[in-house]
Amino acid sequence: MATGASGAIPFYRGRFAPSPSGPLHDGSLVAAMASYLDARAHGGKWLLRIEDIDTPRVVDGADHYIMQQLQTLGMHWDEPPVWQSERLSLYQAAFEQLKAGGHVYGCACTRRMLTGGPYPGTCRNGLGEGVQPRAWRLKVPPGRRSFIDRWQGPQSQDVATEVGDFILRRADGLWAYQFVVVVDDGLQEITDVVRGVDLLDSTARQQTLAELLGQVPPRVMHVPLIRDESGRKLSKQNHAPELDLSSPVRTLQRAWQALGFEPFPAADIDEFWRKAVPHWAARHGLGGAR
């Protein structure tokens, strides 16, 4: 990522990218708040992307409900939202680019054929005569990838040996999350990704894919998760209750404290954000933040 003489980012574009499989809950608000604060503290843009590519998990109307939740909490995006389901031709074009470069191959393996762990490259050298691919995988180049996470610190992963050739197009014909998120971040010129630490393990493979597509991978920050009494992360799959919007400031304060900050008095939503942004900027060394 190019920087100016002072080390400042010449422009900042962040995003929040929920999947519309249900309403936002306290855990998803932590990620949304962190991404929103970081964009505002940099004086940059905050975008909303609806990640509805996994159609079997999409709940009808959840996308607009999520948008309503964000706006009720005073979080407003700076450009029109995009829906992944409306961008299929863009994903196909990116796939064809990778295919033309020899970076993808068809895979006929079923889940029953695999024992877990890194994909062993069973189909990497071609399929038998008459065998049709079920899915398509990225041919991951060898080597260890290292990066600095703005919250978690130095990270390193050998994608080829620790993950293996990962899927870009699933056996059911749907594009894989790891693929579309990279294409979208590149097309939307995202400079910074702020999200939950549960996605930290995806970063190295996404950076690998971004570079094969000719993109500059965004900076990353992976923030803590909220967990329930059993130690599980709050999630829609674990039936986390939706956000309580009857007292928006109190709900915002819970997420704020989950990010490690002390609560402060705020009479309304606008005052909360006016005070929160400079606190975030100071914590993350953004002296010139607006």
Could you give all domains of the chain from N- to C-terminal order, each with its CATH number?
11-86+226-290 (3.40.50.620), 88-189+206-217 (3.40.50.620)
Taking only the tens place, the pLDDT of each residue in 53-80 is 999 999 999 999 999 999 999 999 999 9
279 pLDDT tier (thresholds 50, 70, 90): very high
Please check whether residue 267 is in contact with residue 275, taking contact to mean a CB–CB distance below 8 angstroms: no
Better-scored residue on pLDDT, 8 or 167: 167
The pLDDT of residue 290 is above 60: no
Region 224-242: mean pLDDT is 66
Handedness of CA 192, 198, 204, 209 (dihedral sign): negative
Instruction: List Cα–Cα distances, 220 to 100, 183, 199, 235, in angstroms.
Output: 29, 16, 10, 21
Region 214-234: mean pLDDT is 82
> Using CA atoms, how far apart are residues 98 and 139, in angstroms rounded to an integer?
10
What is the residue whose two structure tokens read 């031709």? 89
3 pLDDT tier (thresholds 50, 70, 90): very low
Single pTM value for the model: 0.91
